[in-house]
């Protein structure tokens, strides 16, 4: 019971994760969007048999039209990579799929577009003059908060929890490597050396303990390390096509949900040298510094 409680996320943690979570590839995506649409709705809708489809507001096409590139800005590729499949960029529409790549204004003004939609999820979109990173993140936060209001945890007072579990359990945060699964001695040694080498790359590097992984960051995370008993998993924040990986250990996880939404993942175990691992991590850091 104590272990399961420690893994019990707060509403704030859920909102934080949902902002960048790949929702589109979840099996429950239809149910999730229907639930958001139907909350406090006197006339509930269903995706099945109604002609409604899940629509990406910012298109999936990697070769975005000029209007989209101009609206998103110079960093359009990175914005598309991070937010394409997130809850903030998804909605329900009845217009033809041929409209999916059209500029935002055309999507709004189409006869079945956002401005003419009876779908509640589209009401706020219809009022906007642009669709960029800030609007996607803002909508993600709004919908994420709606999610936690629909699926609420049982209301238990802190005092009741402390009485049952003990105060030390309630107060526990992720503050050290000891909060994660216990590593065997070999993997523990690898992590300790890797941790020292990463932090020595630059005096400005910060380490943050997240619920699922340990993040190393400058302006933003450049590498995230997930710990398990017999191996480590590294996620790099660098486009897969930019990584030089002569051993071929990196996986392309672009637009695929993973523990930290990184486009590059690889396993670290006793078969891989620390020097090679560091060569990959240094590429991610260099990429961030040059951006």
HSE of 264, CA atoms in CB hemisphere, 13 A: 21
> What is the distance between the alpha carbons of residues 8 and 175, in angstroms, rounded to a whole number?
16
> What is the distance between the alpha carbons of residues 68 and 105, in angstroms, rounded to a whole number?
10
pLDDT band at 1, cuts 50/70/90?
very low
Cα Rg of the chain (Å, integer): 22
Report the domain count for the chain.
Answer: 2
**Of the listed ranges 10-14, 221-225, 227-231, 272-276, the one predicted with least confidence:** 10-14
Domain final position from 132, 150, 168: 150
- Map tokens 């929890």 to a residue: 161
One domain, residues 143 and 222 = no
- Is residue 212 within 8 A of residue 6, CB to CB? The reply is no
Q: Determine the Cα angle at 34 with ends 123 and 134, to 5°.
A: 45
**Per-residue pLDDT for 130 more than 80?**
yes
One domain, residues 194 and 120 = no
CATH code for position 264: 3.90.1150
Residue 80 inside a domain? The answer is yes
Range of the domain at 209: 177-290
Residue 172 inside a domain? The answer is no
Residue 165 inside a domain? The answer is no
pLDDT in tens, 39-88: 887 777 877 767 788 999 999 998 899 999 999 999 899 999 999 999 99
Structure confidence at residue 8 (pLDDT): 55
Q: Which of 14, 8, 7, 20 is nearest to 260 (CA)?
A: 20
Residue 234 inside a domain? The answer is yes
Residue 78 inside a domain? The answer is yes
CB atoms under 10 Å from CB of 75, counted, come to 13
Structure confidence at residue 267 (pLDDT): 94
Structure confidence at residue 160 (pLDDT): 55
One domain, residues 81 and 25 = yes
- At residue 264, what are phi and psi to the nearest 5 degrees? -130, 130
One domain, residues 42 and 146 = yes
Q: Is the dihedral of CA 260, 261, 267, 273 positive or negative?
A: negative
DSSP 51-99: S-EEEESS-S-SS--HHHHHHH-TTHHHHHHHHTTSGGGEEEE-S-GGG
- Is residue 225 within 8 A of residue 249, CB to CB? The reply is no
One domain, residues 27 and 143 = yes
Structure confidence at residue 93 (pLDDT): 86
Both tokens of 223, joined, read: 């590498």
One domain, residues 141 and 7 = yes
Q: Which of 99, 106, 82, 100 is nearest to 20 (CA)?
A: 82
pTM: 0.54
One domain, residues 124 and 17 = yes
One domain, residues 182 and 83 = no
Structure confidence at residue 73 (pLDDT): 93
One domain, residues 15 and 123 = yes
HSE of 243, CA atoms in CB hemisphere, 13 A: 31
pLDDT in tens, 155-210: 555 555 455 444 444 444 667 777 778 888 899 899 999 999 999 999 899 999 88
One domain, residues 140 and 6 = yes
> What is the distance between the alpha carbons of residues 174 and 179, in angstroms, rounded to a whole number?
6
CB atoms under 10 Å from CB of 200, counted, come to 10
Residue 79 inside a domain? The answer is yes
CB atoms under 10 Å from CB of 135, counted, come to 20
One domain, residues 33 and 93 = yes
Domain final position from 135, 150, 165: 150
One domain, residues 31 and 102 = yes
């Amino acid at each position: 019971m104590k272990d399961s409680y420690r893994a019990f996320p707060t509403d704030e943690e859920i909102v934080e994760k949902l902002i960048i979570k790949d929702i589109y590839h979840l099996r429950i995506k239809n149910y999730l969007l229907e639930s958001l649409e139907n909350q406090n709705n006197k006339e509930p809708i269903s995706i099945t048999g109604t002609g409604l489809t899940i629509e990406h507001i910012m298109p999936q096409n990697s070769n975005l039209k000029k209007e989209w590139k101009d609206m998103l800005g110079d960093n359009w590729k990175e914005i598309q990579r991070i937010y394409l499949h997130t809850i903030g960029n998804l909605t329900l529409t009845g217009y033809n799929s041929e409209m999916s790549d059209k500029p935002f204004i055309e999507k709004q003004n189409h006869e079945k577009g956002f401005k003419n939609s009876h779908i509640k999820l589209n009401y706020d979109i219809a009022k906007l003059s642009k669709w960029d990173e800030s609007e996607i993140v803002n909508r993600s936060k709004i919908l994420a908060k709606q999610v936690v209001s629909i699926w609420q945890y049982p209301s238990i007072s802190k005092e009741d929890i402390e009485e049952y579990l003990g105060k030390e359990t309630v107060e526990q945060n992720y503050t050290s490597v000891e909060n994660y699964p216990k590593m065997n001695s070999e993997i523990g040694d690898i992590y300790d050396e890797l941790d020292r080498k990463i932090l020595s790359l630059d005096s400005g590097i910060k380490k943050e303990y997240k619920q699922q992984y340990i993040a190393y960051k400058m302006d933003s995370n450049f590498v995230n390390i997930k710990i398990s008993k017999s191996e480590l998993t590294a996620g790099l924040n660098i486009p897969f096509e930019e990584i030089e990986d002569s051993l071929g250990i990196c996986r392309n996880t672009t637009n695929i949900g993973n523990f930290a939404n990184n486009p590059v993942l690889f396993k670290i175990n006793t078969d891989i040298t620390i020097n090679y691992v560091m060569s990959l991590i240094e590429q991610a850091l260099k990429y961030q510094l040059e951006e």
